[in-house]
Amino acid sequence: MTTPLTYHEGHDPNWFDAQYNLRAGRPDYEETVIPGWMADSQTARETLDCVLDVRYAAGEKQKLDVFRCGDAAAPTLVWIHGGYWQRGDKSIYSFLATPFVQNNVNVVVVGYDLCPAVSMTQISEELREAMAYIWTESEALGINCNRLNVMGHSAGGHLTQMMMATDWSAYHAAMPRDIIKAGIPVSPLSYLEPVRLTLALNANLKMNASEADRESPMTNHPPLTNAPQLVVVGGAETDEFHRQAQMYVDKFSTDMRPVDMYVVPGVDHFDELNVLVDRDSPFFAKTCAILGLKG
């Protein structure tokens, strides 16, 4: 069993930065990774049936993009982007819709406000607002509210776990508790205390110990659904990202709630998304399988 809340390295912020500040390990991130995703995302928006910048709440970035496969009854994959809750934009991630739309899945890419303009706590609430909007407005969006699935990367993996921990019937009187049929947290931040102990990342997050504990799935937000989950991590990611994924699987997988683990061979935190969009990859096939489709 993984022990989630102890760190033999102590509280050396340089060690935590080395484990969690992943852009520092990819000097080509701004020159190659992001431009490549943006170019593919522009193509997706130009070629797929999509409705862009649908406002779901009042925040500046509280908008979503819907990419439709042509079958309103098909499963819907809600994508939550990463960026350590302080960077990124939904428009960068339109490219992820392409292989799923081609495989008869509707895709919703959600935007949200970022730290330090809002708190970590507020971001979790914004995603709940997004899910409630998607569920209540599903007919207008051209999707099926009974086949909603959530997937997110990095900070989006954390937010995916937070959505799995939401009591939707208490959140909105008209919603059933089990609106989410499957969750796929990719490289999730399941436990936030080590992120708080970084220098580079927490400068904008401004998390204190109380918020880090309060917003951690490991300590305060267990899944409130038995919907299956697939927790994913890149094989070449840091030890801490493997630990973050494994601790969640160890704690929350039960006979009634399958929480499986998949390690994408040989890739880091960023390249795992390039594997996801390869329709011939096991990662894509496993994602389709948990959605109830063939890859």
**Which of residues 228 and 293 earns the better pLDDT score?**
228
Architecture of the 13-290 domain:
3-Layer(aba) Sandwich (3.40)
Q: For residue 173, what pLDDT is reported? A: 87
User: Where along the chain do its domains lie?
Assistant: 13-290
Helices (H), 9-90: 13-20, 34-47
Task: With H, G, I as helix, E, B as strand and everything else as coil, classify residue 152.
Answer: strand
3-class DSSP state of 123: helix
For residue 32, give the DSSP letter.
Answer: I
Residue 6 has what pLDDT? 61
CB 284 within 8 A of CB 265: no
Helices (H) and strands (E) in the chain, counts: 14, 8
How far apart (Å, rounded) are the C-alpha atoms in residues 46 and 40? Answer: 10
Please, which pLDDT band fits residue 104 given cuts at 50, 70 and 90?
very high
Q: In degrees to the nearest 10, what's the CA dihedral of 22, 187, 155, 162?
A: -160
Helix (H, G, I), strand (E, B) or coil at 188: coil
Give pLDDT tens digits for 173-215. 899 999 999 999 999 999 999 999 999 899 999 999 999 999 9
Predicted confidence (pLDDT) at residue 2 exceeds the cutoff of 60: no
pLDDT computed for residue 51 by the predictor: 98
- Per DSSP (E only), the strands in 11-92 are 49-55, 63-68, 76-80
Instruction: State pLDDT tens for residues 251-282.
Output: 999 999 999 999 999 999 999 999 999 999 99
Residue 125 has pLDDT above 50, yes or no: yes
Q: What is the dihedral of CA 82, 126, 122, 259, to 10 degrees?
A: -60
Percentage, residues of the chain above pLDDT 70:
96
Rounded to the nearest integer, the mean pLDDT of the chain is 94
Tokens 């999730």 found at: 188
Measured distance between the N- and C-terminal CA atoms of the chain, rounded to whole angstroms: 32
